[in-house]
Each structure stands twice: as structure tokens, then as C-alpha cells.
Amino acid sequence: MSTVAVEAPSLPEVHYLNADYGWRSWLFTTDHKRIAWLYLFSITFMFAIGGLAATLMRLNLVEPSGLLFEPASYDKLFTAHGLVMIFFFLTQSIPTVLGNFLIPIMIGARDVAFPKLNLLSWYIYVLGATIFIISLVTGGIDTGWTLYTPLSTTYANTNVLSATVGIFITGFSSILTGLNFMVTIHKMRAPGMTWFRLPLFIWAMYATSVIFVLAMPVIAITLALIALERIWHVGIFDPGLGGDPILFQHLFWFFGHPEVYILILPSMGVISELVAAGCRKRIFGYSFVAFSSVAIAAISFMVWGHHMFLTGQSVYAGLVFSALSFAVAIPSAVKVFNWTATMHKASVSYDTPMLYAIGFIGLFTIGGLTGLFLASMGADVHLHDTYFVVAHFHYVMVGGAIMGYMGGLHLWWPKMTGKLYPEAWARFACLLVFVGFNLTFGPQFILGYVGMPRRYAVYPAEFQVLNVMSSAGASILAVGYVIPLIYFAWSVFKGPIAGPNPWGAKGLEWTIASPPPTHNFHETPIVTEEAYAYEPEAAHVG
Amino acid sequence: MALLFFPIHPPQASSIAVEWDYFFYVLTAITVFFSALIFGLVFYFAIKYRRKEKDEVPPQNEGNLPLELAWTIIPAGICVVLFVWSSVLFIKTQRPPANATEVFVVAKQWMWKVQHPEGPREINQLHVPVGEPVKLTMTSEDVIHDFGVPAFRVKKDVVPGIYSTEWFTPTEVGEYHLFCDQYCGTGHSHMVGTIVVMKPDDYEHWLASQMNVQPMAERGQRLFGQLGCNTCHGEGAKTPGPPLQGLYGTEVKLQNGQTVTADDEYLRNAVLGPQGVAGYPTLMPTFQGQVNEEEVLQLIAYIKSLGPPEERKVAKQ
Amino acid sequence: MFEHVHVHPKFFYVKVFLALIFLTALTTAVAYVDLGYFNTVAALVIAVVKASLVVLFFMHLKEQEGMTRVVIVAAVLWLAVFIVITLSDRFTRHWVPSNGPWEGSAITAPQSE
Amino acid sequence: MSAEAQSATLVAEQFEDLEQQKSADTFGMWLFLVTEVLFFGGLFCGYCLYRNVYPEAFEAGSHLLKVTYGAFYTVLLICSSLTMALGVRAAQLRLKTSLTVYLILTWIMGAAFVFIKLRYEWYGDYLEGLVPGVHFAPHGENLEIIHHFHALLPHVSLFFLFYFCMTGLHALHMVVGVGLLTTLLIFTQQGKNTQGNYYWVEMVGLYWHFVDIVWIFLFPLLYLIGGRYV
């Protein structure tokens, strides 16, 4: 039953955006949809900071001797880029914006389980981000986002302390968000909404929340230990006092590797939705895709040592980590194959969300496969800490996570605002992102293979051509990210009215008005069918 | 390979590099194959099954169990093969041959300090003869560094408080990049050097041309005297400490009942933070702060020079 | 609404309490006897028993729904994985892998100098 | 039934009924405790590692602690857990007076724990120079063992690092717990906890028991293992 609007749609008279006015109605709101907006604004701001740092870095690398900065400043730039993007943008991006907005609606609830806690999470995030930004503008931090000891505890003389305090605080925002989502998904589902009727986005968000709850506390205590060591020099990571610097890496990566799945899993969930909506088809092998999310979350906790093959970690521990790292590739492969199979004999739309989904599937495949190089200990001996690693995780984080986030924003923007964005501009921006992205990070695979180490402010002259290509790509990529900012803002005021279901997609969120009313549903919905229950034309006509 | 304006291939200058590249090519082939497959299918489906009418809904299907199993098991099989292959390769890189020439590396912010047992010392340079395995024993004075040589396809973190080892057999004469691959602070990108691989004759010539060299063991012996180690560990010392002749490589019984092998790492710990050896009073003070990492290595070289474990006889200097 | 909640008699809690006090005395006493390695084992086993008593009876885990139990087991399991693997690295760090059957003499040179 | 109307005001608007709200809140609390397990877990992991690397130093460190304190705290916390559990029972039975009494007893024991820990034990440790780090210089009783292995000193300092971190984090949780009990007492006086919605008491109880469990592990790990018979 496709309900593509025929008559001119109109906005509902009362919806969550106009139910109340004034800054109080936003800053003290407990409506999950408004909290999603609060996050959207704050993380876009952080993305701008992280993006600016990236732009300056790429600009600097145009010259082998550094175009703009001394190494000291360059080091602060890449540290700021990494920390901002990981802890203040990607971790929040899909969960707090799309997750907050959609989870209650998709499961047929009025709100998340703990709306006040939800708002509190945002305030904690803002507090942490503010402290972090202050530490950046008052001198920055130059340890790399991995904060390896003893560099971060003893030798760095930048604002390590205030930056770690900022991240520490933000971590609690994520813990509370994860807890909130888990309880919501468990306890707030509408009648009839069984686990296997849930949209795959919910499965992915659930897996992500599990990681939030289990991994984030560990980074919190680790950062606390860094602070302790820095203030009192107690020796926990200082070999001179009997400490073990590699223990820090264990603690860090026990959090750090699940963290990268926090970044990619939600995006996988979004892609499932985009592919289903863009193909008007049930996702091929629903239960395999659902369980692969859970499998990824579970295995992700046991692979952290593949970041440490060359640190002097035990070869035997390395073997275990390597084997498990290969194992985590399999559920990811299963997802990719299933998305591809979904497109078989489908009705593939060329709307922007589907274009992002197609981009994601390809780029994530490359990102995932190059991960095999780094999961294998033998290949890691040469590729570790080179630009190959940088290229690999950007294919996953940018080509994967951010493509998914952008695609999701485009799919649900009409739902969030009730307005349509200009489709032509959106497709153009998507193309720019795809081209710019590949030009930026493709050459970095070669750079890494040739041997250029990451985090180099200056580099041997023979690497220049590839670096210039990469920087050129980055400028295209930057334009690709600025254009949506402009047309999204435009669409809120001038965009055509979208109607409740502009894509003819399935799912509870498309059954309610756009923008939705404050409590989402006028009556608690009763779910009687599976997710993506598209009905073929024949049935429709008959 | 200078077909393009930029290098696409690092020099292949060690025995491991050949094997490594072979593995890398296979991985690359797998990556290209699957990426092309997925891209190809996605684009093909996107074009062939494009939406033709605005409210078209395609026929639905649930999935296909054999297909699901196929694309679970085939990648798993590939992963198993790759895992075994890569692990074998890795273990080779981790176990230096016994006849390797030893070179000692101490990293500090931001330079590489190299000592050859024969005496020459270098900074940010390492001269080695072609065709002979070289084993590096490395440690750091401050933060974690990483000794990486792209042309040899080897690298290893250099961690303070630990001796890490790395080995390679250079196969091509030439000069190659040495990079610090682990971010180590402001001067990270300046912590680079050159590995000079020379013909054996040239290498001998180079060794001979180094002026005023004193072998590491001799330096160690001088330090041994200066630090007063003789007082307890020397011959006929009044307050006897454990004798050091022929100690290297033997088993040592500690006061806590454990037995450890007297290797480089044990000796380093014994100098910097002595543990009681069974049968002797624990009088030895710590030398932490009095000797730097290079000097510790010289002391170890001296103790090592006092004879191999088999012959427990006094090596008279 | 809450009428069907199961209320335990006071003595139920007092029994658990007495068991906990007894185990505390036991663990303290055992610590004064030199059992070598077994001291650690005994202390940990007693601690686990005490913790289980608290979780099962004071915290009513026995009466919680299945999912809560899964969550608790998962947390403990995760912590165990974390600690065990981290320790396994530290204590096998000095093991050098022995020759494998796959190795020719090309790589590993003769073991004598 | 008036209870029906009464409960309607207790249900937050996102929930369908009190049953759903209760089960969501309880599940949320258990999840929170899971995050706490992993929060402490980082410290436990570090402790296990160093304890196995430097067993003598950790035993020596343990020897310098006063086991009387450890045992006393354990008994105190177990007692407070009992009163807390009985408090939850009283709330289930809607007995306002007994609930108040049990909560006050728990409060007193919790506060006593924190007070004795800070005022006597930690302060005593401080006077004996047991604060870890570069200034670590023990000069109290039982130091023969350290003189015997003077090279152990930095590693004993590591033991005290874990001792202060773990008991400190635990004490911090006790302070929070005492704060929660205070709030509960106020609510109880307002009659909020004895009208059927006892689960606020139950959730604070869960937290309180969890903090007790942490101590159940800290006591043998820090005060007992290997440190008593040397």
C-alpha cells in the first residue's frame, strides 16, 4: 500500500515544533524529538570544529615541509580533529539525533523511558564539550586522540588534564543515552511490536546501546587514571616507577575498539532503513542482518589487541586477537551481501537517501576489506601506524558512518521538519561527497603502503603528489558537507511541504503526521505486521 | 617503479619484504575482487531495477537460507586461510635468527641513538652490511617510539622499560628511510633517519674508519668500576654479591622462589630495581637515575662478555 | 497492581545476614593461615559466594525477569574477558614462539654462534 | 478503587501504566549497576595485573594495612545491607514507621563508614606516609618487610595507589548512597514510599547492595590476601 501523496499535502496544525514557543520550551524540553534537535545543533557545531581542523591539516600537508604550521601546532590540530570527531561528533551523531528522534516513534511509544535523563544527557554533553573547547582554545592538546602513556601523562605539556575532564564528562552522557535506549527498546514497545517486527535500525541502536553501557565506563576510569597520574605522578603507567605503559593501551582499546563499532553500527542500521525505503522491499535475510548487529557488538569487545600487535604485546595474545578480528569481519560481510541482495529485483529509487546508501555499501566494503589487512598480524608489521590505517578507518568512519548519518538525515528530514529539501542540490552534494571522499582517502592507501607514517607534520618529498591529491579531495569533500547545511536551513523556511510519507515507505514513523505531534501517536498503535511489509502492486490493485 | 609521478611501491630490500609483498598482493587482490563485485552488483541492480513508476512496489521475498550460509561460510573460509598465513608471517618477523648481528637502539625524544657492539655509535643512522641478519635490541628513555623501516617491511614499538627486538636481513645495497611510527610528541615527524645498507667490504671499511671506538663491553667494564659494582660483584669482594662471570643466559633463583633466565631484560631490571637473589643479602641499591639506558646496555654487554653460560670460569680482563 | 508482590519474612533476610557474617569471619581467619596459592583462591571463592548471596537474596535477582539476569551475567562475563585477556598478554609476553613445521632453514639460521 | 486513581498520578506520561513504569525503572537501575561494574572493572583489571607482576610488593602493602578496619567495615556494610533489605520489605508492606527506622539505621551505618574511613583510616595512612607516588615514604609500624625488600618500595607504592583509588571510589559511592538515603527519608516522611510505589526504596536498595558487594571484593583483595601471615 504505497501512499505517495497525490493531493497537495499540508502541515498539521499542531505538531511538536509549534506546540510550545520560547527558549524555555527548548532548553527544558523532555520531548525526545526536541532533544534530537538540541543534539543536532550541538554536534553540527562540533563537526564544524573537527572539520576545520581537518581542512587546516590537509592544507598544511600540501608542502612536504608544512605549508602553514610548525609541527607543534599541527599536532594539536590532528589531536583536536580526532578527539572532536570521535568523542563529540560521531559517537553522538546517529544515536542522539536520529536515534532520539526515531526510536520511540519506530517502536510506537510516546517518548523514551526516561525523558528527563535524556535531557540531562544533553546537558552533560554540552558541559563536557564546553570544557573540551575551552581546553582547545586555551592551548590545545597534542597527544593524539589515543592519549598514549607516558606521553600524555608525563611528557606532554599541553592541556591534557582539562581535555580529559571534558571527555570524561561527555562519556557519562553516552552511558546514560545507551541506558535510556536499552530500557526504551525493552520496555516501551507498542503492543504487537515483537523483537522480530522491529525495524533493523532499532536492532542496530540496541547493539550500540549495549556497547555504550559496557565500554564507556572503562574509558571513564582510564581517563581518571590519566588525570591521577598527571597530577600526582603516582606511577601507574610510568615504567620508572614500576608501571606498565601497555596496560594503558589495554584499558584504552578495551573501550576504543567497541567505540568504533559504536560509530559504525548505527550507520548500518540506518542503511538498512534507507535500502528498504529506497527499494520498497523487505530487507533480504532480516534475521541475519539483525543478529549480525548483535554479533558485531559482542565480538567487538574481544578484538581490542589488534591495535597493539607491535607494542610488544604477547604473540600469543596477538594470535587470539587477530583470529577474533577476522571473525568480526564475517557479520559485516553478511550485512553487505544482504543489502546488495535486497536491491535485486527491487524498485530502486534515485532519491538522495538511496544514493547515500549505495555510496555507503561500496565504501564500507572497501573500508571493511582493508580492515582485513590490519587484522592480520603479518600485514600489520608494515602497515601499522601508516596512512594505510588512516585511510582504512576513514573509509569506515566517513565513507561508512557519516554517509549513513547524512543519508539518514535526508530520509527523515521531511519527518523532522515537515518540509522537503531541494532534491537536485542534495544529489549534487552527495556526488561531491562521494568523489571528494575517494580522492581524499584513496591516495592515502598508497601513501601508507609506500610507508608514510601517520601524524607527520613534515614528510619526505617523494610523498608530495599523493598528499596534494588527498588535499584536493578534501576541499571537494568540504564543499560537499557545506551545501547540505545551506539547503537544509533553506528548506526549514522555504521548502515545499512534505506530507506524512513522501517516500512511500513503510514503518510507524511514516504513519503519523510530519512533523509528528508531541506525543507521536494519538492512540497507542497496535502492530500487526512485520517491518518493511511492502505490498506488491498486484495485491494492491486487487 | 617510477611509472607515475609518485611512488606506488616502497623499495623491496629485505628477505621478509618479498614474502610480505606476496601476502599483500593476495590481500589486495581479494579486496579488489570483492569491492568490484559489490560495486558492480549495486550499480547493475540500481540501473536494471530502477524505479519506473512513482508508486511501484516490487515483489517481496524473505531471504534465502542457502545463500545466507554461502556468504557466511565463504568469507569465513577466506578469513581462516588469511589468518593462518598472516600469523606464520608475523611469527617469522618476531623471532630473530640466532646468528644475527646485534645492534642496540635507544630512542628518545626525538632521536635514534644506535650503538654497535664493536663500538661505533650513530645518531639517526644505522649502517648494516647487506645479506646478514641484524637484530635490534631497542628501548626508550621517555615515551613510546616505533622503529619502522618501510623498505624492510618491519616495525616495532620501542617502549620504555622494556627491551623490544626487531630483525631483518637487508638484501639490497642502498639508503632507506627510518621512520618513527608511533606518535611521540612535537618532534615526531623529525624523528627520522637513514638505514645505510652496505656491501660487506664497505661495511668493514666503514667500521674501521670510525675513530676512537671502544667496544660496548669495554665501556661497560669502565662503568662497572666507576659505579662501584666491583665492591660486591668483583673478585674477592668483601661483601659478596652474586658472581657475574658466566651469568648471562643461565637460570637464576630468586629469593621469592621464582627462577628466571638471566637475559637482557632481567639484567636491566636487576640494575635498575634489584630483586633479591637466593643465597645473598639484599643490599644492592637501585641504580635508577644514575645510569641511562645506553649505559645499562653497556653494562649488560660487559656482563655478557664475561663468558657464555657453559664455561663457568672467570674471564680475566 | 502491587498486591501480587512476594514479601519475604524477616527471618529470610536474617538468615542471609548470618551467612554473610559467618563468611566474613571465615575469610579473615583463612587469611591468617599460610596456604600459599590457595589463600587467593579461598578469598576469591568466599567473596564470590558472599556477592552471590547479596545479589540473589538482598537484591532479589532470583525474582527478576530473565533479561535482567542475562544483563548481569553479561556484565560479569565481559569484565572477566577484559581481565583475563589483559593478564594473558602480560604473562605470555616473553614467550617466544618455537619453530613451526612450516619453517625452512632460510629464515631461522642455525642455533649456534 | 482509589488506588487506581492514585497510581494514575504516579505514572509518568510516557508510560502506559505503573507496571510498565516500575519494570522500566528497575531494569534501568540494573543497567546502571552494570555500568558501575565496568567502571570499577578498569581498576580491578589494573589491580590484578600489578598484583601478579609484583606479588611480594602487594603482599607487603597489604601487610601495612590494618585488618581490623577492613573487617569492621565489612561487618558494618553487611549490617547496613540487612537494614536496607528490611527497609525495602517494610516499604512493600507499607509500614511507614519501620521503613523510617530502617532507613535511619542504614544512614547511620553508611555515614559512620565514610567518617571512620576518612577521619581515622585514611588520615592514619597519610600520617604514616603511605600516600602513593613520588613522595611515598612509609614510616609507621610493620615496616620490617619493606626494609627487607627495599627495592620493592615503588611497587608497594603501586599497591597503595590501587588501595586509595579503589577504596576512594567506593567511599565516593557511599557518599552518594548516603545522599540518596537522605532523599528517601524525606520522601518517606511525605508518605511517598509507603503507598504502593515502594520501588524507589527498592532501587536505592539495589544501589546500596551493589556498593556493599564492591566492598566484599575489596576487603580480601586489599586487606587479606597474602598480607596477614608474613
Rounded to whole angstroms, the Cα distance separating C18 from C15 reads 5
Can you tell me whether residue B177 is helix, strand or coil?
Answer: strand
Compare CB distances from A524 to D16, D57, D165 and report the shortest one's residue.
D16
The predicted pLDDT at position D7 comes to 53
The predicted pLDDT at position D6 comes to 53
- Mark yes or no for CB contact B276/D149 under 8 Å: yes
Confidence of residue C2 (pLDDT cuts 50, 70, 90): very low
For B56-191, strand residue ranges (E) read 101-108, 111-115, 121-123, 125-129, 134-140, 145-149, 154-158, 164-168, 174-180
Closest-CA residue in chain D for B271?
D151
Residues 180-209 of A with CB under 8 A from B: none
The predicted pLDDT at position C1 comes to 40
Compare CB distances from D27 to C5, C43, C68 and report the shortest one's residue.
C68
D132 with D157: CB under 8 angstroms? Answer: yes
Closest-CA residue in chain D for A240?
D154
pTM score, two decimals? 0.92
Residues 251-310 of B with CB under 8 A from C: 265
A235 touches chain B (CB under 8 A): no
* Contact residues on chain D for B275, CB-CB shorter than 8 A: 151
Looking at residue B193, what DSSP letter applies?
A: E
The predicted pLDDT at position C111 comes to 36
pLDDT (mean) for D219-227: 87
The predicted pLDDT at position D149 comes to 61
From residue A194, how far is each of A190, A197, A199, B148 by CA, in Å? 9, 5, 10, 54
**pLDDT tens series, chain A, 542 aa:** 444 445 567 888 889 988 888 888 999 999 999 999 999 999 999 999 999 999 999 999 999 999 999 999 999 999 999 999 999 999 999 999 999 999 999 999 999 999 999 999 999 999 999 999 999 999 999 999 999 989 999 898 899 999 999 999 999 999 999 999 999 999 999 999 999 999 999 999 999 999 999 999 999 999 999 999 998 888 889 888 888 889 999 999 999 999 999 999 999 999 999 999 999 999 999 999 999 999 999 999 999 999 999 988 888 899 999 999 999 999 999 999 999 999 999 999 999 999 999 999 999 999 999 999 999 999 999 999 999 999 999 999 999 999 999 999 999 999 999 999 999 999 999 999 999 999 999 999 999 999 999 999 999 999 999 999 999 999 999 999 999 999 999 999 999 998 899 998 999 999 999 899 998 998 889 998 888 988 875 444 33
Confidence of residue D229 (pLDDT cuts 50, 70, 90): low
Instruction: Label residue C113 exposed, middle or buried (CB < 10 Å: 0-12, 13-18, 19+).
Output: exposed
Confidence of residue C97 (pLDDT cuts 50, 70, 90): low
Q: Write out pLDDT tens, residues D181-215.
A: 999 999 888 887 777 678 889 899 999 999 999 99
A187 touches chain C (CB under 8 A): no
**Chains contacting C (3 or more CB pairs within 8 Å):** A, B, D
* Contact residues on chain A for D132, CB-CB shorter than 8 A: 232, 234-235
Pick the residue of D56, D59, D134 with the most B CBs within 10 A to test the interface with B by mutation: D56
Residues in chain A: 542
* Contact residues on chain B for C106, CB-CB shorter than 8 A: 15
Which region among A49-58, A409-418, B238-247, C101-110 has the lowest average model confidence (pLDDT)? C101-110
Confidence of residue C5 (pLDDT cuts 50, 70, 90): low
**Chains contacting B (3 or more CB pairs within 8 Å):** A, C, D
Distance between B220 CA and the closest CA of chain D, angstroms: 23
D34 touches chain A (CB under 8 A): yes
Confidence of residue B315 (pLDDT cuts 50, 70, 90): very low
Question: Which among A74, A86, A77 is positioned nearest to A129, based on CA atoms?
Answer: A86
ipTM for this model = 0.90
**Those residues with Cβ within 8 angstroms of residue D98's Cβ, 6 or more apart along the chain or in another chain:** D86, D87, D90
pLDDT (mean) for D161-166: 93
Looking at residue D53, what DSSP letter applies?
A: H
Residues 370-399 of A with CB under 8 A from B: 370, 372-373, 376-382, 384-386
* Contact residues on chain D for B286, CB-CB shorter than 8 A: 151
Q: Write out pLDDT tens, residues C23-45.
A: 999 999 988 888 878 888 999 99
- Mark yes or no for CB contact C24/D209 under 8 Å: no
Confidence of residue B248 (pLDDT cuts 50, 70, 90): confident
* Contact residues on chain B for C108, CB-CB shorter than 8 A: 95, 97-98
Pick the residue of C86, C88, C89, C98 with the most A CBs within 10 A to test the interface with A by mutation: C89
Higher pLDDT, B259 or A31: A31
User: Counting one residue from C and one from D, how many pairs have CB atoms under 8 Å apart?
Assistant: 135
Confidence of residue D157 (pLDDT cuts 50, 70, 90): confident
The dihedral of CA B107, B111, B116, B119: what is its sign? negative
DSSP assignment of D131-187, as one string?
A: --STT----SS--HHHHHTGGGHHHHHHHHHHHHHHHHHHHHHHHHHHHHHHHHHHH
Would you say residue D142 has pLDDT above 60?
yes
D27 touches chain A (CB under 8 A): yes
- Mark yes or no for CB contact A187/D24 under 8 Å: yes
Confidence of residue B314 (pLDDT cuts 50, 70, 90): very low
- Mark yes or no for CB contact A151/B24 under 8 Å: no
Q: Write out pLDDT tens, residues B61-87.
A: 888 899 999 999 999 999 999 999 999
Report CA dihedral (C25, C27, C32, C35) to the nearest 10 degrees: 150
Distance between A212 CA and the closest CA of chain B, angstroms: 27
The residues of A whose Cβ lies within 8 A of any Cβ of D are 104, 109-115, 175, 179-180, 182-183, 186-188, 213-218, 220-222, 225, 228, 232-236, 241-244, 247, 250-251, 519, 524
Confidence of residue C103 (pLDDT cuts 50, 70, 90): low
Pick the residue of D58, D148, D230 with the most B CBs within 10 A to test the interface with B by mutation: D148
Rounded to whole angstroms, the Cα distance separating B69 from B53 reads 34
Confidence of residue D37 (pLDDT cuts 50, 70, 90): very high
The predicted pLDDT at position A248 comes to 92
A30 touches chain B (CB under 8 A): no
The predicted pLDDT at position D127 comes to 87
- Return the axis-axis angle of helices A352-375 and A245-279, rounded to nearest 10°: 150
Confidence of residue C110 (pLDDT cuts 50, 70, 90): very low
D149 touches chain B (CB under 8 A): yes
Backbone torsions φ then ψ of D167, nearest 5 degrees: -70, -30
The one-letter code for the residue type at D88 is: V
* Contact residues on chain B for D55, CB-CB shorter than 8 A: 256
Can you tell me whether residue B102 is helix, strand or coil?
Answer: strand
**Percent of the residues in chain B that have a pLDDT greater than 70, as a whole number:** 94
The residues of B whose Cβ lies within 8 A of any Cβ of D are 256, 273-276, 282, 284, 286
From residue D116, how far is each of A163, D166, D171 by CA, in Å? 35, 16, 11
Can you tell me whether residue A8 is helix, strand or coil?
Answer: coil
Distance between A493 CA and the closest CA of chain B, angstroms: 27
Cell of D71: 573487617
Compare CB distances from A350 to B8, B50, B151 and report the shortest one's residue.
B50
Cell of C40: 587467593
Rounded to whole angstroms, the Cα distance separating D113 from A145 reads 39
Q: Write out pLDDT tens, residues B156-173.
A: 999 998 899 999 999 999
The predicted pLDDT at position B243 comes to 79
From residue B271, how far is each of A184, A239, B289, D133 by CA, in Å? 59, 14, 11, 21
Pick the residue of B14, B92, B169, B310 with the most C CBs within 10 A to test the interface with C by mutation: B92
- Mark yes or no for CB contact A221/D158 under 8 Å: no
Distance between B166 CA and the closest CA of chain C, angstroms: 13
The predicted pLDDT at position A174 comes to 95
Rounded to whole angstroms, the Cα distance separating D39 from D34 reads 9
Compare CB distances from B79 to A282, A286, A330 and report the shortest one's residue.
A330
Confidence of residue C100 (pLDDT cuts 50, 70, 90): low
* Contact residues on chain C for B91, CB-CB shorter than 8 A: 97, 100
* Contact residues on chain C for A214, CB-CB shorter than 8 A: 74-75, 78
The predicted pLDDT at position D131 comes to 84
Compare CB distances from B87 to A4, A72, A322 and report the shortest one's residue.
A322
- Mark yes or no for CB contact A302/C85 under 8 Å: yes
Which region among A390-394, C47-51, D123-127 has the lowest average model confidence (pLDDT)? D123-127
